[in-house]
Amino acid sequence: MVIFAILAPLTVAGGLAAVMLRNTVHCALAVAVAFAGLALLFLQLNAQFAGFAQILVYVGAVAILVVFAILLTRSSETPATGVFSKTWLTGLVIAAAVFAVLAWAVLGSRTALPHEQIEPQIAVAQIGYALMGRYVLPLEIVAVLLTASMIGAVIVAMYEKGGAK
Amino acid sequence: MTNMLDQVFVLLKHRIVGLVPMPVQPILGAVLSVVAILAVFPGLFAISVLLERKGLGRMQNRIGPNRVGPLGVLQPVADGIKALIKEDLVPYSADHVVHFLAPVVLVVVVFMGYAVLPMGRNMTFVPMDAGLLFYFAMGASAELSIFMAGWSSRNKYSLLGAMRAVAQMISYEVPLLLSSVVIVMMTGSLSLDKIVEVQNQYTWGLPHWFVFTPMGFAAFVMFAIAATAETNRSPFDLPEGESELVAGYFTEYSGFKFAEFFLGEYVAMLSISGLGATLFLGGWSAPLEILNVVPSWFWFFAKIMVWICFYIWMRGTFPRLRQDQLMNFAWKFVLPMTLLNLLVAGLWRFMGEGWLRWVVCSAILLAAYVLGGRIGMRSKKFGPRSYRYAE
């Protein structure tokens, strides 16, 4: 509980900083903090695989890609005006609606699931067996989808030989 | 007696922990392990820096440091004191918070990696079920700190160095992970303790190290390449190429913060050598069955130091690569080879015992290596070397 009390504010603060800060690179770094906090929360819940994958994929790759995108597209100068967009009210409403739906689903799941006394021990090996056995088809579909999107990205970025130089 | 010597650190820890009341014991145990890691690896860092300066000096026909202490062995101490008492300069326009945090984050994540390395029999700090995954997660976090250092300095050279470093580390992380996956496929576990345990068997007095199997050897070579690039070591040291970028991402760091980057780089090198030794060279297991009388921790540290010497040798031998060569090598040669290696590892698993699988797997890998190399070279259209002025 003490650990949760430390981690949860850290994660929320990271998330808030990501949308409130003026400097875009600071926002990206704050997002990385939020990701790391989330990963630690997973670890606190004994979900080793999810926690490490969160760090490896989000802190290690996604945050870096975000930062790269910021630096390559636009100079990272701080905007002179405020960071709030004009439609912040709409955004707030949408965010609140999403939160309400998620909260409703989470609160509803408590009665739907059988009440278990012993918490399940999920080892990484079991996740592997599940992915390679029961869920192999979804896994492969996701793999094909990712490959297709990657080829698409390469084609978009590829230098057109016949076109204007 | 040998067993006693083998477990001397474990027994010592138990003795010390036994001195305090029960509820404090786990905390004290953890603190002791952390202190041991924080003491041993910076010590090794000092030794390897000295070794590097001396060894490189010899390779370049110089003597190397020889003023401080007998034969210059106290040079790292002098360097440390110098770094501590130097002024800590921060550029006026730098982003102060990020500038301060970058070296701290780097050192923290680099040391975290040691938590899962088995440094001897029963000598893993946190024997984790997904140890390998933890190690790579920590390694991936180091990239962000390098970016933070380069960006916050507000210096073109720093930023260029950081961009190079991050691009290189992301590109070589893929082969690094994929070559380790081969070992996971052969062991069936992500736990580093289990991986060492599997390799700690002997046939005719010879060990079952993964480097002695065809795909294990191929994975070992690619792991070594990717590890060199991941730690920004020569010949992959473009991020800090002195002739172009001053010092890359840590140009604007001075005093102890510079020392922290230096420490982080070497400690990362030691830790990735430890991981390589664990995955391919049997971790703490002895190279011959009769050598099992020597304590297991000795073998682990000996393998790390051999790996470091290899790094130093490479640094003294190879010229630096160009950025496009670096990227082409990672994505067009190493990555396809690692993918093929995964396939071969699967084939090995399903061909069963016997000599046939040795022949088939070796032949596939060798053919792919030779053909890939030849085709790659041909597309570059390299002719015989020509000299313009030196004839």
Q: Of the candidates A66, A52, A34, A44, which has an alpha carbon nearest to the alpha carbon of residue B136?
A: A52
Q: Which of B98, B133, B166 sits opposite A52 (nearest CB)?
A: B133
Closest listed residue to residue B91, CA positions, set B263, B250, B245: B250
Q: What is the mean pLDDT of residues B68-93?
A: 84
Interface touch A64/B143, C-beta < 8 Å: yes
**B308, B227 contact by CB (below 8 A):** no
Contact, B65 vs B53, CB < 8 A?
yes
Chain B residues within 8 A of A125 when measuring between CB atoms: 129, 188-189
Q: Is pLDDT at B54 greater than 50 in this prediction?
A: yes
DSSP-assigned letter for residue B204: T
Note the pLDDT tens digit of each residue in B341-361: 888 888 888 877 778 878 888
Interface of B with A (CB under 8 A): 95, 98, 128-130, 133-134, 136-141, 143-144, 147-148, 151, 159, 163, 166, 170, 173, 188-190
Contact (Cβ atoms closer than 8 angstroms) between residue B117 and residue B81: no
- Give a yes or no: residue B117 inside a domain: yes
Write down the CATH number for the domain with range A1-77: 1.20.120.1200
B190 Cβ contact partners less than 8 Å away, ≥ 6 residues apart: A124, B129, B130, B131, B132, B133, B184
> Which residues from B are below 8 Å from A26, CB to CB?
98
Say if pTM beats, i.e. exceeds, 0.90: no
Q: Domain spans of chain A? A: 1-77, 121-165
Which of A124, A126, A132 should one mutate to test binding to chain B, selecting the residue with the greatest count of B CBs within 10 A? A124
Return d(Cα B250, Cα B143) in angstroms, integer: 13
From B151, which residue of chain A is nearest by alpha-carbon distance?
A25
Q: Which of B3, B45, B48 is nearest to B310 (CA)?
A: B48
Mutate to test the interface with B, among A22, A46, A55, A146 (most CBs of B within 10 A): A55
Chain B residues in contact with A56 by the CB 8 A cut-off are: 133, 136-137, 140
How many alpha carbons lie under 13 Å from residue B11 in its C-beta half-sphere?
Answer: 6
pLDDT at A160: 65
d(CA B164, CA B143): 11
Nearest to B52 by CA among B281, B269, B277: B269
Task: Say if B293 falls within a structural domain.
Answer: yes
- Residues near A76 by beta carbon (within 8 Å), at least 6 away in sequence: A23, A24, A25, A70, B151
Min distance B136 CA to chain A CA atoms (Å): 7
Q: Is A44 on the interface with B (CB under 8 A)?
A: no
List the structure tokens of B368. Answer: 């792919």
Asked whether residue B31 is domain-assigned, the answer is no
What does the alpha-carbon distance between residue B263 and residue B270 come to, in Å, rounded to a whole number?
A: 10
From chain A, the residues in CB contact with B95 under 8 A are: 23
Contact A64 B189 (CB under 8 A): no
Specify the higher pLDDT residue, B118 or B122.
B118
pLDDT value for B257: 86
* Interface ipTM: 0.76
**How many CB pairs below 8 Å do chains A and B form together?**
68
Spell out a b/e string for B116-145, using b for 16 or more CB atoms within 10 Å of the CB, else e: bbbbbbbbbbeebbbbbbbbbbbbbbbbbb
Give the gap in angstroms from C-alpha A97 to the nearest C-alpha of chain B: 33
Nearest-5° angle of CA B207, CA B213, CA B217?
105
With contacts defined as CB-CB under 8 Å, which chain B residues touch A39?
137
Rounded CA gap, A124 and B132, in Å? 11
Q: Is A25 on the interface with B (CB under 8 A)?
A: yes
Q: Kindly report the nearest CA distance between residue A37 and chain B, in angstroms.
A: 13
Angle between helices B335-351 and B356-380 (to 10 degrees): 170
Q: Is residue B308 part of a domain?
A: yes
**Encoded tokens for B29:** 């145990």
Mean pLDDT across the stretch B178-188?
Answer: 87
Stronger pLDDT, B339 or B383, i.e. the higher one? B339
Q: How many domains does chain B have?
A: 1
Q: Is residue B385 part of a domain?
A: no
CA–CA gap between residue B20 and residue B50 (Å, rounded): 39
Nearest CA in chain A to B163: A68
d(CA A85, nearest CA chain B) in Å: 25
First to last CA, chain A: 61
pLDDT one-digit tens code per residue, B255-304: 888 888 888 889 999 999 999 988 888 888 888 777 777 888 888 889 99
Are B120 and B294 in contact, with CB atoms under 8 Å apart? no
Average pLDDT, chain B: 84
Distance, in Å, from the CA atom of B117 to the CA atom of B301, rounded to the nearest integer, reads 12
Higher-pLDDT residue of B383 and A69 is: A69
Q: How many residues does chain B have?
A: 391
Question: Token digits for A69?
Answer: 């995108």
- Taking the CA atoms of chain B, what radius of gyration do you get in angstroms? 22
CB neighbours of residue A66 within 10 Å: 18
pLDDT at A165: 42
B237's CB contacts (< 8 A; 6+ apart) are: B320
The residues with which B279 forms a beta bridge, in sequence order, are: none
Residue B255 lies in a domain: yes
Alpha-carbon span B201 to B289, nearest angstrom: 8
In a domain, B205, yes or no: yes
> Rounded to a whole number, what is the distance in Å from the CA of A116 to chain B's nearest CA?
24
> Residue B136's closest chain A neighbor by CA?
A56
How far is residue B3's CA from residue B295's CA, in Å, rounded to a whole number? Answer: 8
pLDDT at residue B225 greater than cutoff 80 = yes
- Residue by residue, pLDDT tens for chain A (165 residues) are 788 888 888 888 888 888 777 777 888 888 888 888 888 888 888 778 888 888 888 888 888 888 888 877 765 556 655 666 677 788 889 989 999 999 988 887 776 666 655 666 667 778 888 888 888 899 999 999 999 998 998 888 877 665 544
Contact B133 A76 (CB under 8 A): no
Query: CA A43 to CA A37: how far, in whole Å?
Result: 10
Range of the structural domain that residue B337 is part of: 87-376
Q: Which residue, among B334, B175, B331, has the nearest Cα to A154 in the 3D structure?
A: B331
Q: Compute the distance between CA of residue B344 and CA of residue B214 in angstroms, rounded to an integer.
A: 9
Q: Is A119 exposed, middle or buried (0-12, 13-18, 19+ CB in 10 A)?
A: exposed
A8 touches chain B (CB under 8 A): no
Model confidence pLDDT, tens digit, residues A105-130: 888 777 666 665 566 666 777 888 88
Q: Residue B2 and residue B98: Cα distance in Å, rounded?
A: 50
- B152, part of any domain: yes
Largest CA distance in chain A: 68
Angle (CA) B230-B235-B237 rounded to 5° is 60
